[in-house]
Amino acid sequence: MSSGVAEAGPDVELRAATRPLFIGTYTDGSGAGKGIGIGTWDPAAGQVAATSVVTVSNPSFLALAPSRRYLYAVDEQSGGRVTALSVSGGALKVLNSQSAKGDGPTHLCVTPDGKHVLAANYDSGSVVVLPVKADGSLGAATDLAQHTGSGPDPDRQEGPHAHQVLPDNTGAYVHSVDLGTDSVYAYTVSSAGKLKLVHQVKVPAGQGPRHLAFHPNGRFAYIANELGNSVIVAPYDAASGLLKPGQPQTTLTAAPPSGVRNYPGEIVVSADGRFVYVSNRGADNAAVFAVSDDGATLKLLANTPVGKNPRHIGLDPTGSFLFSSNQDSGTVTSYRVDKATGLLTAVGTPLNTPKPVMTLPL
């Protein structure tokens, strides 16, 4: 006979359990963090909590290995490095670090086979390849690709500034987005860790591309442009690795306050390919775009207020929550995603944490 009360079982416990979350920070300057924050997020409510810190210098971007057993972090500074850490549950342990062969690494990725880590050196305008050893630690660099050129903005585009490097959906090509040269570079990576440039494509001059994200169907990429306050849809030929950037469209539903310039930051695509999200720094919101025409068209739906200077936004693995890392307000904030409309609703209590610049929920 039923008591009318649901009994707890493994599925209920799984849904109720918190999941690990890692927070990248800046460790320089006043109010700085101490390294990579270790915390949790609640799959039912989206609440974020912090538990401890692993000391790493300026770990401003994090990337998880395909095996999920290792985490890699840039050390964004002059004479930049990349740090390897082991992952066990929600715990991290530093394995080693290697030179990034450049200054100011701001982004990194792991190749789909898990055998190489690539990092984008912003200050130097280069991309480095580091081999991954059997234990997840990193070997010395096997190659370095140096970008050249400049753009029309004398303050931000005086030279190359590689801001991102990531593989396409097939893993056949990796793409580096360079703010300084208004370019996206496509490379292949050999088994020996050597880079071969396949294409360099330009966005309209002065847009200052920062990051891109691929649609799940692999036929389109979306480029967030830091200097142009815009996003660009780029049809993509996965066979050749060629992007064809279109025209910029705004990320704002209304102009920012007088005297405030908006700088788009992170861009992310929902797993079902129906929505694109962009963080707006200056306007301090998350832009929500609806995707149509199998990925070819973006329509701006809303700007949802977040914290100050949202350097990074990210979706949890289920796509139920979006987390915003708000560098200048020192908070990580949570938003429930309406999977039918794509719209965001703030939930939970903001996590106060020093200079958060990336949140990686597992």
Average pLDDT in the 151-160 region? 98
Q: How many angstroms separate the Cα of 75 from the Cα of each of 69, 106, 121, 292, 311?
A: 20, 8, 10, 38, 16
Q: What is the pLDDT of residue 257?
A: 87
Q: What is the pLDDT of residue 338?
A: 98
- Beta carbons within 8 Å of 306's beta carbon, 6+ residues apart: 279, 284, 285, 286, 313, 324, 326, 333, 335
Dump pLDDT digits (tens) for 298-320. Answer: 999 999 999 999 999 999 999 99
Between CA 307 and CA 345 the distance in angstroms is 14
Average pLDDT in the 212-225 region? 98
Q: What is the pLDDT of residue 98?
A: 98
Q: What is the pLDDT of residue 108?
A: 98
- Beta carbons within 8 Å of 140's beta carbon, 6+ residues apart: 98, 99, 130, 131
Average pLDDT in the 50-74 region? 97
Give yes or no for residue 243 having a pLDDT over 70.
yes
Between CA 142 and CA 283 the distance in angstroms is 41
Dump pLDDT digits (tens) for 345-356. Answer: 999 999 999 999
Between CA 56 and CA 129 the distance in angstroms is 20
Of the CA atoms within 13 Å of residue 328, those in its CB half-sphere come to 10
Give yes or no for residue 239 having a pLDDT over 70.
yes
Give yes or no for residue 41 having a pLDDT over 50.
yes
Of the CA atoms within 13 Å of residue 346, those in its CB half-sphere come to 13
Give yes or no for residue 245 having a pLDDT over 70.
yes
Residue ranges of alpha helices (H) inside the chain are 10-16
Burial zone of 131 (CB within 10 Å; 0-12 exposed, 13-18 middle, 19+ buried): middle
Give yes or no for residue 296 having a pLDDT over 80.
yes
Q: What pTM, to 2 d.p., does this model score?
A: 0.95
Indicate the range of 25-39, 180-194, 203-217, 337-351 predicted with least confidence: 25-39
Confidence of residue 343 (pLDDT cuts 50, 70, 90): very high
Q: What is the pLDDT of residue 46?
A: 97
Q: What is the pLDDT of residue 15?
A: 45
Give yes or no for residue 164 having a pLDDT over 80.
yes
Average pLDDT in the 111-120 region? 98
The overall average pLDDT reported for the chain is 95
Confidence of residue 7 (pLDDT cuts 50, 70, 90): very low
CA nearest neighbour of 60 among 46, 71, 74, 79: 74
Of the CA atoms within 13 Å of residue 17, those in its CB half-sphere come to 12
Give yes or no for residue 14 having a pLDDT over 50.
no
Give yes or no for residue 278 having a pLDDT over 70.
yes
Confidence of residue 29 (pLDDT cuts 50, 70, 90): confident
Could you count the other beta carbons within 10 Å of the beta carbon of residue 252? 18
Between CA 316 and CA 124 the distance in angstroms is 32
Average pLDDT in the 239-254 region? 98
Q: What is the pLDDT of residue 6?
A: 32
Q: What is the pLDDT of residue 8?
A: 33
Dump pLDDT digits (tens) for 78-108. Answer: 999 999 999 998 999 999 999 999 999 999 9
Could you count the other beta carbons within 10 Å of the beta carbon of residue 134? 5
